[in-house]
Amino acid sequence: MENTYKPGFLNGKVAVITGGHGGMLFEVARAYLKFGASVAILARKEDKINEAVQKLKTDTGSDKIIGVKCDVREVKIVEEAIDKVLNEFKKIDILVNGAAGNFLASLDSLSVNAFRTVMNIDLLGTFIVTKVVYTKWMKQHGGVIINFSAGLYQNGVALQSHAGAAKAGVDALTRHFATELVRF
């Protein structure tokens, strides 16, 4: 990445990353820190958040990171989490929606509750976090919103109907918000 991006090009920027305690989103957090951003990772499991924050501090040498316990399915909890981020960093320049629920399940074994849970984390969570960050900061100050998705729904993938349906919704939401919020 050093060949592509200028060191420090994210200096002074603040990024909020949902689901940033593991996987791809952890690597996004690492890259943002490496290039100078302050980062807040939001996730549900406090032990995993704390572990990720410590690892990122060690790996990057940056202490410009906080972890905030947050369930993206709950508006009040998201509002409180974003208030903590704004209290700590005073602004939000980048929102990365990456929180997701996924597992393999056939139609026979997929319960309504499991389907609803994935829809609520992936789609409703993306909506809630975007709306809260937009309302509390970006409407007045602008910013960048990045929604992680997957093309599972484009051709269909066995055992992934719940995740595919949720990601189709995330992609639609992304296009609608991009059209509506471009002026901000």
User: Model confidence over 100-128: pLDDT tens digits?
Assistant: 998 999 999 999 999 999 999 999 999 99
pTM comes to: 0.95
The region of weakest confidence among 44-53, 58-67, 134-143, 153-162 is 153-162
Decide: 172 and 180 in contact? Cβ < 8 Å: no
Res. 1: pLDDT tops 70: no
Tokens 């820190």: give the residue: 33
**Mean per-residue pLDDT, 34-44:** 97
Q: What whole-number distance in Å separates Cα of residue 160 and Cα of residue 18?
A: 21
Residue 91: the pLDDT is 98
Domains of the chain, each with CATH number or no CATH: 14-181 (3.40.50.720)
Res. 2: pLDDT tops 80: no
